[in-house]
Structure 1
Amino acid sequence: MPILLLLLLATFAKAQESLKYQKPPTEILELVEAPLAPSVLIDKKGENVILLFRDPYKSIAELSEQELRLGGLRINPKTNIGSRTTYYNNIKTKKALKPSNTEVKGLPENPRLANFNWSPDQQKIAFTHTTDKGVQVWVLDIKTSSAKKLTDEIVNANMGNPLEWQKDNSGLFVTTLPADRKELINTEEAIPDGPIISVSKGEKAQNRTYQDLLSNPNDEFNFQQLALSELKLLSLEGNLKPFLPTAMYSDVSVSPDGKYVMVEKIKKPFSYLVPYYRFPSETNVYDQSGKLVNKVMDVPLQEVLPQGFMAVRTGRRSMNWRSDKPATLIYAEALDEGDPEKEVPYRDEIFELDAPFKGEGQPMFKTINRFSYVQWGTEDIAVAHDYWWNTRNTKSYVFNPSDNSQKPKVIVDRSYQDNYSDPGYFVTTKNEFNETILVINNGNSYLMGDGYSEKGQFPFVDELNLKNLKKKRLYQSSYTDKLENLYSGIDMKKGEILVRIESQNEYPNYYIRNINKKEDLKQVTAFDNPFKSMQDVHKEIITYKREDGLSLDGTLYLPVGYDKQNKEKKPMIMWAYPREYKDKNSAGQNTSNPNKFIYPYYGSPVYWVTQGYVVLDNAAFPIVGEGEEEPNDSFRKQLVDNAKAAIDAVDALGYIDREKVAVGGHSYGAFMVANLLSHSDLFAAGIARSGAYNRTLTPFGFQSEERTYWDSPETYYNMSPFMHADKMKTPLLLIHGVADNNSGTYPLQSERYFNALKGLGATARLVMLPKESHGYSAKESILHMLWEQHEWLEKYVKNKEANTANENPK
């Protein structure tokens, strides 16, 4: 046996005893440590650009700061902001068509910046800075590229957006810490004064397995104290003025004309079954002096809803300001009592309510499916959208908001999973209220689409007349060696739009394109490729067919320096995520683009092209159930058929040793991995991160399965890898964040599954990452995760024969 392999095996054996954070091989480490390009904010005129810089990862020390998990929130009680907030540490400004950037003057030391919010005139941006003591308000002046502090650490950013601009640009509404906040209870030291009791009164409360819920009276007390705020007005000179007294404010929004403020606040009783956004709430409208105009919504506790993904509560919901009117509210009400099982011609009705917001609203229109949102245009043109999960159907309607006697006209009626028929999204602009409305020129609106088709992806701009519904194509990207994403319209009369262009080795950059002038392209950003070691990696989209004839695809990468002529057979890692469909046509569509930039983010398997592996990423794993059949009725068979088709396709190209193929996935992809290893012999090893393996622990539905365990116990049993742990004969690496916050993927899922595998003699390894959530963010965790995956692949895939001989000597 080679000395290197003996050392590797010895290292892995020792790792079971005591192990500090490890690092992957140098080639992978260099890619992980590559600098992150900034996030880009561009104003509505396409003139000013804001560049936001941050570190790619947090540190384990940051994740180790105090955290309270209450009512579905994760809060740092010392700083009063979400404990998992992503912070930026630098800002630069630039003119869109000028190459140079300008450093922002006056930023705080050791910046931890978040909650960026444009002023209505887009001359300033408000943001928060988090110190060791708490959250401050700052403002950036775009013209002078300078920042200044407006407050000390007075902000309560625990719930909702803490900053909301006044319409006249003079200041902001800010949720501040109340003067009378009580000291929090240390729940670890508190002595209970009684048992914890929950009661069922005979009503069905079929809720999903939410994380971070309240669990006792001490949690209730702490949640309330952390949620309480005073709402104040903050001037740009830093002066504070009381607006509303202490309450649990969860949302603040100003009317388009700036005369009214709509405020939502959470109320008691709290719940141990659902997150805070299903607690009782009350929504009121106030004038600019803080005087109550009217209560517009009073929502009870929502523990009990009808069964099904499309279930909603009764009464007013989805209340928002109508963006094309000075002060008009719109809201939806269910016509089926919120019960998707009831057969009705229309599911929802939409109403508008003018100031002073009293009484019942004026009916506007009804939707066939569940209401989603409205895009407002002119006095007589608006577009509404709905959807229905069970059929994957979506409809769009054009209607006259000034005349409800005119029946809305359906202009889109399609499966939202059918990418080839996607007409695109409507181009919007800002009106005189700085609110978003449709761009309409001479009765014509505009649609920007991704442009997926059987021939490839060619994004487009269409002109659509909303009166006669005639459509005209104005522009279609013609790139065959690049990918051009269309982002927004800057000036549709002039034909100016914002686009982002990239290729396999060309980092994505922003441009202003004039679609009326051929080849008119002006560069806005010029970010360099930080992953140059991968720029010559071979990448292609391969297409192949499943046993039943369904078309599939995946993104294939060959190892660095691979000789395609000699075709040495290499080990392969395949990464995938199952997706459910209600029709084969949508399931078989190809939405992968070979020209997309090769971006090795932390969860990607692409790193292993540097280690001599073929990588098949985003392998299509559709699970189809047409008509009365549900996708999960044949979940396991379709999984195995998908996997076999993928391996057969790459094997037929001559690149791989099919005895050395690994499969990996995260979350539902991890669930897929465990099932594949239990019910097929296609793989040499598997990697499953942050998954769920026992579906009886999520009895009221999971992923896209809305049947309960008691509706279809055989489905829950057949799909649960835990129930088939005795069939596991393939080495499986399990990784899970100790603080996973995702619904259903409790850390217990991996722990119990590993215990079952270990008890039954399977080869498995469980790695629990301290402080990590469903996605991982600390650099130490990510580097160690990559090391674990690398060691597993080297041992059980690349060196499979040597390892098998070592573990099973004759």
Structure 2
Amino acid sequence: MLYQRPPDAIADLVNLKPDPLMLFGPDRDYIIIADRPMYPGINELKEPKVKLAGRQINPSNFTPYGSRGFFNPRLQRVSTGTDLAFRGLPDGAMFRYFSWSPDGSRIAFCEVTGHGLQLWTAERDTLNCTRVGGNDINNSLGGVPYDFIGNDRFLIKRQIAGVEKPVDSETVTGPKVQDSSGKEGANRTYTNLLQSDYDVRLFHYYATSQLYLHRLDTGNETAWAEPGIIAGLGDSPNGKWFVITYVVEPFSFNVPYDKFADKVLLLDREGNEVRELARRPIVEHLPPAFGAVITEPRRYSWRSDHPAQLYWTEALDDGDPRKQADYREQLFYLEAPFTGEPRKSIRLPLRFGALRWGRGDLAIAVDWEWSSRRQVTRRWFPDDPQREPEVLFDHNWEDNYNDPGNVVTVSLPSDHSILLTRDAGETLILIGNGHSPEGPQPFVDAFNLTSHERKRLWESTPPYFERPLFFLDEDPDRFLLAREQSNERPNFFLRHLTSGEELRITDFPHPYPQLRNSQYELVTYQRSDGVQLSGELHTPEGFDPGKDAPLPILMWAYPQEYKDADKAGQVLTSSHQFRRVSPLSPLPFLAAGYAVFDDFAMPIVGEGDEEPNETFIEQVRMNARAAVHKLVEMGVADPNRIYVGGHSYGAFMTAHLLAHTNLFAGGIARSGAFNRTLTPFGFQAEERTFWQVPDTYVRLSPFVHADKIDSPLLLIHGEEDSNSGTYPVQSKRMFTALDNLGKTARLCLLPYEDHGYAAEESILHMLWEMYRWMEMYRKEGKKVMKRKPLTTSTGH
């Protein structure tokens, strides 16, 4: 069929102007601003792609498939309000990867061309733009393909000159053979993997690159380090040493490239190898438990407050969190000139999470454990690694009400980050969401390292919802603030922490004034076993429940697993927040007169030794019944026109609700998985494999319960879904089952689309399918046209 459009009231919400890119310079007085494009047309999605080692690559220009960029770059000065355009750029060009030099005097960015990325640079004070080398940058594996080395040099990742693309031989020389290793392991259902020897050669061709050192003062560019498949590069704070990671053969046909074998090297400033730090095998057979890691050294990083001290960690439990161990991680370090043996630093009882650096007697380490949902923040002493770390915070990450917040860091001229402190280094600054039963109130706290006392320095104040984003410098007096209200989109301000003085940075208008006066309410209720629930209720402007007739309503959710029933019911949204209307959300249907119950709580609780999935069906049923009862009781929902839907895991939930309840007039399941035997090594938060709990996998497959689905089900799926576990075959098989069982169902496959939908035509057609489906069916299963349909145009 031809692409269709939904009613104009819905379609008008698709291509609204998005917020621009904003990138502050190091001195925070200048902001790079660039406009974001609207949704691409379907022809853009038809651009060529090759699928290799878990990546989708545009073969024309050695970039990730679907990479678009920004346009109309300009520079805004905060103190004067001036807004100046970049000079000398080609008309209509798209750009990516904007960055500042460490001292903020220079800007760099890449133009997206048909053959590769072209690096440009401009002086901040003139904005005169010049090209840096040719347009042969290799960015096939993603990331930023260049880096400032000081303020006047670049390291640039380029294609290998003179190498011809391999040709696929039509000669068949034998079968494809793989042997098992005899080792236990659990890999999720990865997509776009290597399939043949030709794929191996093709991956080499697209992924192999050569680093070049470009000097702006002379324009000279020389090869730096050895060519190879570069997976990572990081420089020391003093700029004299580099850690580089190369992907090496043998490759794997079972996992993506980030799990391939690799080697980690230490290089000097000229790109010469100083030391091989590690050589690691393919990661195909990790233990199945969450938190399993390799036994080799991993997570190499530089200590930010030291000229050249390199850290990494190694597992002490064979990488298996199922094993009992007093300590699971040992940190090691080396420092210049890197000729000695690695030295031990602290040990961590849980799995290593992150490091934040401050000074010789102050660093922060975070470690965590999945089974208990526990996260511990520790203060430790890098210059005295034998000293026992001090626990600052030990909390359950499901417990949002008691989340202590995150330590704040600031950038140094070396482009490395250190902790922001006050009171001669004795006080940390924390930023948090401030969740509570009344909703979140973000905050800025001071935390004393000696007494562990907290002092509230600032918090969001109703009727606004305000979020601190980052502090401007090491003197914690000014920070960037995003402020919004329920009917006002976020805008940005500079705020003085103690005086309260503010400077407005942006003045974005309301993006969809036609919905400005739609109504929002955070609805709280309780399910039958006492778990507290909530959801975001949106109703059209002027709707008065109890007086006006109940509305058709679309309920939209995504299940979340918890280990604690009390924490499952915590309120995580504020009634003062601005509700963005994404075309991929259910909110556009407000414009067509529907009520929307968005993100209604769908907790799946498994306390103690019980796994959440053992009672998944029973719990989604309880959640849905409680929500529907509340909406009908409020006089909001027409009982005969309640529809339920979700995307991905929400689609899985939707199919179960239609199979195990009679609450809904119909369902909408987008890009879902319906047969769990096709994801046998785990899914979502399920750690156990199919062979450990086959009955659970079978029972949790909506495909098995297709005969119980009596309400109409609309299935939508991207034809090129590369998400782990949600192959398009999932929806195809589900539709075939429903079709052959005589059920009412419809399958819409969107050409060239991935797990999320990108093209304007696809999004408009998706909305048309959803609107048409809900307009056609009521709970009795009869076709209806109860309300006068809005104007619909076709053949887009």
**TM class by smaller structure:** over 0.9
Partner of 2:791: none
Answer yes or no: is the 8 Å Cα contact 1:155–1:162 preserved in 2: no
Give the equivalent residue in structure 1 for 2:285. Answer: 304
SS in 2 for 1:151: strand
Pick aligned residue for 1:621 from 584, 602, 614: 602
2:16 equivalent in structure 1: 34
Pick which of 228-237 and 698-707 moved more. 228-237
Residue aligning to 2:460: 477
Residue type at the aligned position of 2:34: L
Check conservation: 1:97, 1:523, Cα contact below 8 A.
no
Q: Where does 1:148-187 land on structure 2 (aligned, <5 Å)?
A: 148-186=130-168
Q: In the alignment, is the contact (CA less than 8 A) between 1:59 and 1:780 conserved in 2?
A: yes
Separation of aligned partners in 1, 2:136 and 2:327:
47
Matches within 5 A, 1:90-109: 90-109=72-91
- 1:462 and 2:445 equivalent? yes
* Equivalent position of 2:195 in the other structure: 215
Q: From the superposition, tell whether residues 391 and 190 of structure 1 become closer, same or farther in structure 2 (CA, over 3 Å).
A: farther
Q: Deviations over 1:182-216 (max 9, x none)?
A: 31335xx8443221111113212321100111111
**Alpha carbons of structure 1 residues 463 and 315: separation in structure 2 relative to 1, 3 Å:** same
Corresponding position: 1:583 with 2:564: yes
Structure 2 match to 1:232: 212
Question: RMSD between aligned alpha carbons?
Answer: 1.7
Q: How far apart are the structure 1 equivalents of 2:594 and 2:777? A: 13
1:340 corresponds to which of 304, 321, 324? 321
Q: Read off the aligned partner of 2:178 and give its amino acid letter.
A: S
Q: Counterpart amino acid of 2:638?
A: D
Match of 2:120 among 138, 143, 146: 138
2:173 paired residue number: 193
Q: Is the 8 A contact 1:120 1:165 kept in 2?
A: no
Instruction: Verify: 1:362 aligned to 2:343, yes or no.
Output: yes
User: Following TM superposition, by how much is the alpha carbon of 1:145 offset from its aligned partner in structure 2, in angstroms?
Assistant: 3.2
Post-superposition offset of 1:514: 1.3
Higher relative contact order (CA 8 A, sep 6+): 2
* Matched residues, number: 783
Which residue identity lines up with residue 759 of structure 2 in the other structure? Answer: A
Q: Counterparts of 2:280 and 2:527 in 1: how far apart (Å)?
A: 49
Counterpart for residue 363 of structure 2: 382
| Counterpart for residue 497 of structure 2 | 515
Report the CA distance shift for 1:191/1:568 in structure 2 as closer, same or farther (over 3 A).
farther
Opposite residue 81 of structure 1, the aligned amino acid is T
Q: 1:283 aligns with which of 264, 270, 273?
A: 264
Counterpart contact for 1:494–1:516, Cα < 8 Å: no
| Preserved CA contact (<8 Å) 2:438 2:571 | no
Q: How big is the shift at 1:470?
A: 2.2
Q: Distance in 2 between matches of 1:799 and 1:506?
A: 40
Structure 1 residues 583 and 360, CA, compared in 2 at 3 Å: closer, same or farther? Answer: farther
1:569 to partner: Cα distance: 0.9
- Indicate conservation of the 8 Å contact 1:266/1:280, yes or no: yes
Write the distance in 2 (CA, Å) between the matches of 1:578 and 1:728: 20
- The answer on 1:395 being equivalent to 2:379 is no
Report the TM-score, using the length of structure 2 for normalisation.
0.96
1:724 alignment partner, SS class: helix
State how far apart, in whole Å, the 1-side matches of 2:29 and 2:586 are: 38
Matched position secondary structure for 1:23: strand
For each residue in 1:635-678, what CA deviation from the matched residue of structure 2 results, as whole angstroms up to 9, or x when unmatched? 00100111111111111111111221000100101111011111
1:334-358 C-alpha deviation (Å, 9 max, x unpaired): 0001011110011111111112334
State the Cα deviation string for residues 5-31 of structure 1 (Å, max 9, x = none): xxxxxxxxxxxxxx1111111111111
**Counterpart Cα distance in 1 of 2:748 and 2:170:** 32
Paired letter, 1:607 = P
How many Å apart are 1:315 and its aligned residue?
Answer: 1.6
Q: Mean alpha-carbon deviation: is it higher for 75-84 or for 156-165?
A: 156-165
Of 679, 694, 697, 1:713 maps to 694
Q: Which amino acid aligns with 1:109?
A: D
Distance 2:215 2:565 in 1: 57
SS at the partner of 1:150? Answer: strand
**Is residue 2:108 matched to residue 1:126?**
yes
- Take 1:491 and 1:233, find their aligned partners in 2: how far apart are those partners? 30
Asked if 1:47 is matched to 2:26, the reply is no
Q: 1:727 maps to what in 2? A: 708
1:65 is aligned to: 47
Question: How much does 1:788 deviate?
Answer: 0.9
Instruction: Find the aligned partners of 1:359 and 1:697 in 2 and give their Cα distance.
Output: 50
For each residue in 1:444-475, what CA deviation from the matched residue of structure 2 results, as whole angstroms up to 9, or x when unmatched? Answer: 11001111112222111111122332221111
Which letter does structure 2 place at the counterpart of 1:282? K
TM-score (norm 1): 0.94
1:532 aligns with 2:513: yes
Q: Please give the residue correspondences for 1:635-714 in structure 2 after superposition, counting only pairs within 5 Å.
A: 635-714=616-695
Unaligned 5+ residue runs, structure 1? Answer: 1-18, 806-810
**Aligned partner of residue 390 in structure 1, secondary structure:** coil
The 2-side partners of 1:682 and 1:394 are apart by 39
Structure 2 match to 1:421: 402
**Secondary structure at the counterpart of residue 31 of structure 1:** coil
Cα distance between partner residues in 2 of 1:97 and 1:640: 56
Residues 303-361 of structure 1, C-alpha deviation per residue, up to 9 Å, x if partnerless?
A: 11122111100021001111111111100100001011110011111111112334542
The alpha-carbon deviation at position 802 of structure 1 amounts to 4.4
Match of 2:736 among 755, 775, 785: 755
Letter in 2 for 1:475: W
| Other structure's SS at 1:200 match | coil
Alignment of 1:16-35 (within 5 A): 19-35=1-17
Q: Partner amino acid for 1:231?
A: L
Looking at structure 2, the residues matched to 639 and 353 of structure 1 have their Cα atoms a distance apart, in angstroms, of: 51
Distance 2:673 2:322 in 1: 28
Equivalent-residue separation in structure 2 for 1:457 and 1:203 (angstroms): 47
Which residue in the other structure is 1:273 paired with? Answer: 254
Please list the CA deviations of residues 756-792 of structure 1 after superposition, one character each: whole Å capped at 9, or x if unmatched: 1111111111111111111111111111111111111
Contact 1:571 1:798 in 2 (8 A): no
The residue type paired with residue 728 of structure 1 is: I
**In the alignment, residue 227 of structure 1 is paired with which amino acid?**
A
> SS state of the match for residue 716, structure 2?
strand
Task: Letter of the 2:736 partner, please give it.
Answer: N
Q: Distance in 2 between matches of 1:416 and 1:619?
A: 21
Contact 1:296 1:358 in 2 (8 A): no
| 1:434-449 correspondence runs (5 A) | 434-441=415-422, 442=424, 443-449=426-432
Give the residue type in structure 1 aligned to 2:401.
Y
Match of 1:609 among 565, 590, 594: 590
Greater shift, 483-492 or 412-421, is seen at 483-492
Deviations 1:394-446 (A, max 9, x none): 00100111112210011111111111111111111123423100012221110
- Alpha-carbon separation, structure 2, partners of 1:251 and 1:426: 26
- 1:745 is aligned with what amino acid? T
Q: Does 1:258 align with 2:243?
A: no
1:501-523 per-position Cα deviation (integer Å, ceiling 9, x unaligned): 011221111111112014x2211
Provide structure 2 residue ranges, at least 5 long, that are not aligned to the other structure: 787-796
Matched, 1:246 2:223: no
> Per-residue CA shift, 1:99-144, capped at 9, x if unaligned?
4432222222322212223221223232211212222111243332
Q: Is the 8 A contact 2:27 2:104 kept in 1?
A: no
| SS of corresponding position for 1:410 | strand
What SS does structure 1 have at the residue aligned with 2:307?
coil
Q: Which amino acid aligns with 1:228?
A: T
Aligned to 2:793: none
Aligned residue in 2 for 1:13: none
Give the CA deviation at 1:223. 0.6
- Matched residue of 2:202: which SS? helix
Instruction: Report the counterpart of residue 792 of structure 2 in structure 1.
Output: none
Instruction: Tell me if the contact between 1:166 and 1:258 (Cα under 8 Å) persists in the aligned partners.
Output: no
| Farther-moved stretch of structure 1 (295-304 vs 96-105) | 96-105
Q: 1:229 to 1:566 in 2, by over 3 A?
A: same
Deviation at 1:545, TM superposition (A): 0.6
